[in-house]
Amino acid sequence: MPAFPTFPKAAREATGNAQLRHNLRKATGTIRGKRAAVVAELDDWAELRRAGKQIKERTLRHLDTYLEQVEAAVIAAGGTVHWAADAAEANRIVTDLVRATGERDVIKVKSMATQEIGLNEALAEAGITAYETDLAELIVQLGDDRPSHILVPAIHRNRSEVREIFRDRMGEWGRPAPDDLTDEPADLAAAARRHLRERFLSSKVAISGANFLVAETGTAVVVESEGNGRMCLTLPETLISVVGIEKIVPTWADLEVFLQLLPRSSTGERMNPYTSTWTGTTAADGAGDGPGTFHLVLLDNGRTDTLADTVGRQALRCIRCSACLNVCPVYERAGGHAYGSVYPGPIGAILTPQLRGTADPLDASLPYASSLCGACYEVCPVAIDIPEVLVHLRERVVQGDAEHPRAKGHLAERVAMRAARTLLDSPRLLGAAQRAGIATRRLHPGRLPGPGAAWTDTRDLPQFPDESFRDWWARRSAAGEGAPAAPAAPARPTPEAGQTPEAGNAPASGDTPSTTPTSAPEERK
């Protein structure tokens, strides 16, 4: 993994980029509005959401059974199944499979799993060029850039930036952009279509991920908006699909739920323009609906460890709709690159530290990349309680455990917490510290020095009072004053003259509510 700065550092730089903030605000605001409108159309959205959550939960509980079911069904349909424990193994498997075809070029369907394992880079090292075919991924690839959104990887780019990238770089990767290319969306799409068409027609190997794997038939499913995925999945002779083990749904009836939840949550559409499914291979007699050769690479890469965490495992329910990114105030200002992770935004803040661990300072900073406002939970179509997992992971970062060593970056916080615990455990020490603080209060600086400065950069340091509460209480008690009287309770409003309670609301005689319990608590048990 290349070294990226921690989230606070990267976010500070990103939030200073006014163009980036403008692009993000415009794009996420548009998608947010579309999503809200189409979700409001469904009276049973809450039930669908509950169903999606429960199907995923049940599947994760019996994942071992469903994985074996998928494997058996894919093999029965003529495909080959490979198991990859981590990114290195997955990359090795895919590289060997491509080499075996004798090809040096492959086309790709947009896939988060292949980004997660750094497949393009691994293939490049082996002398194989991977061509992205999704429009946004193409923009990212041509611009030597990194994706910054799950659904719209080039969300940080505006139209004129895209035109410049197409004009400057398209020729190096294939058919060049026309000289008179404008920044009109239709022109940009037409240039991309002509560029990609040549690639589709000449490629013999395609690599994809899958949005879902239907266990009962071993069917892989890809949903997309542009049709480029459909071309990759149907034209080449060999298809290699790298799929995370959490992508399974048990049956086609279960899939039905997600095909309603996903498009409304991600693109604000009622259904996906393209839904492609394939099962194993197409036999010589034409039976079957898969490619000539099909390889399924089932990817773990930290998912089994995530599954073992009873709080954190809910992140594996994610269907990568990106709704949580589009409502997140932190993402909207900092953008996706600040997360230094393939999965940005709220889902990245909980998934990445679980898949990669929290020992690296960047990964340890991700659970803090949130205001815990809860907007992400509200929109998540599978009801992942992202704030709950964030807090859980913050605890892991501070405390550490055998599996997840503590991050070094929070040493100062740990030292401060330990000192506070010692003080609060001892009334004598606490009293002495308070008196010392009060005696020296005129010397206190307005800002904390050293690592504490990060805290006072955005907050005022509270002033010590003239006297601690304990001393104040002791002094008053010694003088026989005790506690000051409690403020008088506000008088209960009485009906104005001539007003009587409405007949229907008037308590019946003898039912007058009383604040005095009619019996002792023990008797009422």
| Contacts with ligand SF4, residue ranges (CB under 6 A) | 265, 318-324, 347, 379-382, 384
Least distance (Å) between residue 274 CB and ligand SF4:
20
User: What number of other Cβ atoms are within 10 A of residue 186's Cβ?
Assistant: 8
Question: Is 27 or 323 the residue whose CB approaches ligand SF4 more closely?
Answer: 323
Least separation, in Å, of the C-beta of 318 and ligand SF4? 3
Largest CA-CA distance found in the chain, in angstroms, rounded? 102
Q: Which is nearer to ligand SF4, 108 or 320 (CB)?
A: 320
Neighbours of 294 (CB within 10 A): 24
Return the number of the residue (245 or 319) whose C-beta is nearest ligand SF4: 319
Nearer to ligand SF4, 27 or 191 (CB): 27
CB 215 within 8 A of CB 249: yes
Tell how far CA 248 is from the center of its chain.
19
Nearer to ligand SF4, 391 or 433 (CB): 391
Q: Which is nearer to ligand SF4, 10 or 375 (CB)?
A: 375
Q: How far is the CB of 266 from ligand SF4 (least distance, A)?
A: 7
Cβ neighbourhood burial of 5 (10 Å; 0-12, 13-18, 19+): middle
Supply φ then ψ for residue 179, to 5 degrees.
Answer: -60, -35
Element (H, E) at 221: strand 219-224
Label the pairing between strands 105-108 and 129-132: parallel
Least distance to ligand SF4, CB of residue 380, Å: 3
Tell me, what amino acid is at 381?
A: P
Burial class (CB in 10 A: 0-12, 13-18, 19+), 187: middle
Query: H/E/C letters for each residue in 250-271?
Result: CCHHHHHHHHHHHHHHHCCCCC
Q: Taking the complex as a whole, how short is the minimal distance between the CB of residue 354 and ligand SF4, in angstroms?
A: 13
Q: Which is nearer to ligand SF4, 96 or 378 (CB)?
A: 378
What's the closest the beta carbon of residue 252 comes to ligand SF4, in angstroms?
Answer: 21
Q: Are 254 and 55 in contact (CB under 8 A)?
A: yes
Least Å distance, CB 104 to ligand SF4, is: 35
